[in-house]
Structure 1
Amino acid sequence: MAMMSLSPFTLLSKASVFLHRNRNTTLSTPFSTSAAGSKAKQTLQLVSALLLGGVQIARDDVVRDDPTNNVPDNIFSKLGMQLHRRNQHPLGILKNAIYEYFDNNYSNKFDKFDDLSPLVSVKQNFDDVLVPADHVSRSYNDTYYVDSQTVLRCHTSAHQAELLSMGYTHFLVTGDVYRRDSIDSTHFPVFHQMEGFRVFCPDDWEASGLDATSYAATDLKKCLEGLTRHLFGAVEMRWIDTYFPFTNPSFELEIYFQGKWLEVLGCGVTEQEILRRSGKQNNVAWAFGLGLERLAMVLFDIPDIRLFWSIDDRFTSQFAKGQLGVKFKPYSKYPPCFKDMSFWINESFTENNLCEIVRAVAGDLVEEVRLIDSFTNKKGMTSHCYRIQYRSMERSLTDEEVNELQLNVREEVQSKLKVVLR
């Protein structure tokens, strides 16, 4: 379906807090070993001009000398990559498979948006979807702020209210989302989500014998069970009651896959306040959100989230347009390098801040940051020891470069976090 034009702010300016707890996340640009100069050139090109939604975004639009700005260059470099729009990429293949399901089962009723800019207002990202003022997701520890009123979207739901106010009643929104997060094989501060939304009129439920909420919930579960079978085949499923700020009732769908229960998505019946604000007080709606990386890692057997960003032919050549579920064949895995770092923490210390510093220094060469020891002495001072695991997806790292990375990490941690190294 053709892409629609939104307001200029949206273009410059959500699965969803549905997946704020899922944290299945995405990765960063690949580190090309043999062509460091080429990588630098590529990064400079990204930094100089990004075209999103038909509008050019400069580095100063995202990374600013502003006391409220916490977006580092390595996050800005991910904007504009749009892995979900590449038809031969696992994320693009999965997105198109979901499109296929909705097109075949709903007669092309759903409008599709996959090129909306990730810069959104605090109002769009939080207020419009009823995220409480004291919710942890609003903190600078969890969210990337461009300034006090602008963020990199945490979820594709950030576009929900505007699309509703423009008259759209059936839509799918896919895009890259950003959250400050931990470092391991399934978490990264940039990942991709898809939001689905459907509005019903009184005529839809009045003949069913069900009240509006029950009708919407029944239709939602039927839709998502069908989508799950489309992606995973005949699997056992179960629904779990949960809580989200913007839906009531709210559910999570789990499937029994390869011997264990796997959370697939979050969903629910939209809070009436969201519809009322959009002039649809006589309607009812449902919404769902899913993380593309979470599903793609399972469907394609991809073991490390950083691989999605790889430009290594040994990765990219394994996938083709329309081939859902081709199993990734691992190539040589290079050895990890471990470095420990201990320091006395202060009251303002957070692990997310530590991970941001390690990423800023080591980029995609850092595979995991893990707390391995913690103790408090008689003076009430607390010490943490973190093990940092470095590993390239494409080559063996030398002792010299790992030592240099670790030295730089130590200096940055001491300088920026104001901790005392041990």
Structure 2
Amino acid sequence: DREFVTDDYTNITPKILSYLNRDLHLKKDNPISIVRQRIVNYFYSSFTHGGNPIFSVYDNLSPVVTTKQNFDDLLIPEDHPSRTKSDCYYVNRKTLLRAHMTAHQSELLRSGLDNFLMIGDVYRRDEIDSTHFPVFHQVDAVRSQRKEQLFQDHPGLELFEPTFDPKNPLIFENSINDPNKQSCHSLEATKLMETQLKNHLIGLVHALFGDNVKHRWVDAYFPFTHPSWELEIFYDNNWLEVLGCGIVRNEILANAGPNNSIAYAFGLGLERIAMALYKIPDIRLMWSEDSGFVSQFQNKKLNEKITYKAVSSYPQCINDISFWLPSDVTIDTFTNNDFYDLVRDVGGDIIEQVKLKDKFVHPKTKKHSLCYSIIYRHLERTLTQAEVNEVHKEIEKAIVKSFNVVVR
């Protein structure tokens, strides 16, 4: 247990703190853990050297990281929207709950590793609905290769362009203007890594969803890879994005130590895969201790086809909440994620969804008003309207106190 000083950046709520150390990705029979094990097994069996797996797995890394780990080490610009308080859970100005598992990439490279999986819980402030939750779980991976590994059959080929000096990698200004490659890398090295990356990830998707699943690659942008792609599969009559990937920016490798290798990286969300594979309709169910949910995943073979059957569909209760904003706040400057966090903090897991219903500016007084619909539903029993009204009143009191609004 570490202690941290709070400051003007601190925005972690007690509700979010309650999710720390739950480790659903390591909890036997949880769907997230089942998918994690299937992915690990794929990498263990597909990549071996002398009969031993070459990928090492890190699934117990502390979720409290520095802004350097989460952003700077990954070349995420100072003004990037992902750094804002409305997107992340900050412990203080220099420390936060990791927003992605890639936050550990540089420290593991620095320690001399070249093939590894990073698995754990990540935290992002987001909207509230059946597919979004402020805590979710990711698998991120890096595979790096030196020249003699990548070009073992073509020893005359090079990883880098002649203008790049691997002994002084940081003095080279690496450009990403060419959509096909980074300016430091040779085209042959980039294309061979791209082919390996895509083949390995198509193999993973086949291992999870079956050999006949259709897929497509979509060009993407991430600050820490170039070129970059997203992989989508056609599943249940929809195109589903399953992961993002790319060739690791050479500056990241050079800053972390390796200056004579090229690497690929990818990241995927375990909840998204588990919800698709097992037809789980609501992300909150992953956290359920209800035996009706848990028993459906117990004592099953790892690759068994499981289709979640709803135990019961309890009715929703919908209450609206409208309020006038204080004079120094407008409908455009009010931070929705602050409101969502407060609602979740007061209402807990009976909050199914929060939707912005209406924005209004009074024509005469010019006062600004917002109206939200809050959808309440318990996963394990029927809520009474009286119970909901009580929680709703507590939310009204809390927003008056926190945001200085006037409830309409």
Q: Bin the TM-score by the shorter chain.
A: 0.7 to 0.9
Provide TM-score, normalisation by structure 2: 0.86
* Shift of residue 113, structure 1, vs aligned partner: 0.6
* Shift of residue 323, structure 1, vs aligned partner: 3.2
Q: Is the contact made by 2:6 and 2:91 (CA closer than 8 Å) also made in structure 1?
A: no
Structure 1 residue matching 2:257: 3-state secondary structure: coil
Residue number among 251, 263, 278 corresponding to 2:256 in the alignment: 278
What are the within-5 Å matches in structure 2 for residues 286-305 of structure 1? Answer: 286-305=264-283
Structure number with the bigger relative contact order (C-alpha 8 A, sep ≥ 6) is 1
* Shift of residue 214, structure 1, vs aligned partner: 1.3
Q: Is the contact made by 2:138 and 2:268 (CA closer than 8 Å) also made in structure 1?
A: yes
Q: Is the contact made by 2:129 and 2:354 (CA closer than 8 Å) also made in structure 1?
A: yes
**What CA deviation, in whole Å up to 9, does each residue of 1:11-63 have, x standing for no partner?**
xxxxxxxxxxxxxxxxxxxxxxxxxxxxxxxxxxxxxxxxxxxxxx26xx36x
Structure 2: segments with no counterpart, 5+ residues: 158-186
Matched to 1:140, the amino acid is K
How far apart, CA to CA, are the structure 2 residues paired with 1:99 and 1:251? Answer: 22
How far apart, CA to CA, are the structure 2 residues paired with 1:236 and 1:229? Answer: 9
Q: Which moved more, 1:180-189 or 1:274-283?
A: 274-283
1:118 aligns with 2:63: yes
Q: Is the contact made by 2:88 and 2:97 (CA closer than 8 Å) also made in structure 1?
A: yes
* Shift of residue 265, structure 1, vs aligned partner: 0.3
Residue in structure 2 matched with residue 129 of structure 1 by the alignment: 74
* Shift of residue 344, structure 1, vs aligned partner: 2.8
Residue in structure 1 matched with residue 88 of structure 2 by the alignment: 143
What are the within-5 Å matches in structure 2 for residues 19-418 of structure 1? Answer: 57=1, 61=3, 66-107=7-48, 108-206=53-151, 207-208=153-154, 211-233=188-210, 234-320=212-298, 321-324=300-303, 325-345=305-325, 346-347=329-330, 348-378=333-363, 379-418=365-404
How far apart, CA to CA, are the structure 1 residues paired with 2:257 and 2:339? Answer: 44
* Shift of residue 335, structure 1, vs aligned partner: 0.8
Residue in structure 2 matched with residue 18 of structure 1 by the alignment: none
- Would you say how many aligned residue pairs link Structure 1 and Structure 2? 363
* Shift of residue 65, structure 1, vs aligned partner: 5.2
Q: Is the contact made by 2:38 and 2:302 (CA closer than 8 Å) also made in structure 1?
A: no
Q: Is the contact made by 2:6 and 2:92 (CA closer than 8 Å) also made in structure 1?
A: no
Matched to 1:106, the amino acid is F
Q: Larger radius of gyration, structure 1 or 2?
A: 2
How far apart, CA to CA, are the structure 2 residues paired with 1:322 and 1:263? Answer: 26
* Shift of residue 349, structure 1, vs aligned partner: 1.3
Residue in structure 1 matched with residue 180 of structure 2 by the alignment: none
Q: Which moved more, 1:240-249 or 1:208-217?
A: 208-217
Matched to 2:361, the amino acid is T
Q: Which moved more, 1:116-125 or 1:314-323?
A: 314-323
Structure 1: segments with no counterpart, 5+ residues: 1-56
Structure 1 residue matching 2:360: 3-state secondary structure: strand
Q: Which moved more, 1:230-239 or 1:395-404?
A: 395-404
**What CA deviation, in whole Å up to 9, does each residue of 1:69-128 have, x standing for no partner?**
111111111111101002311011100000111111102110001011101111001111
* Shift of residue 248, structure 1, vs aligned partner: 0.2
Residue in structure 1 matched with residue 179 of structure 2 by the alignment: none
Provide TM-score, normalisation by structure 1: 0.83
Q: Is the contact made by 1:296 and 1:302 (CA closer than 8 Å) also made in structure 2?
A: yes
* Shift of residue 419, structure 1, vs aligned partner: 2.5
Matched to 1:146, the amino acid is V
How far apart, CA to CA, are the structure 2 residues paired with 1:413 and 1:220? Answer: 48
Structure 2 residue matching 1:80: 3-state secondary structure: coil
* Shift of residue 129, structure 1, vs aligned partner: 0.8
Q: Is the contact made by 1:205 and 1:211 (CA closer than 8 Å) also made in structure 2?
A: no
Residue in structure 1 matched with residue 175 of structure 2 by the alignment: none
Residue in structure 2 matched with residue 7 of structure 1 by the alignment: none
Structure 1 residue matching 2:297: 3-state secondary structure: coil
Matched to 1:323, the amino acid is L
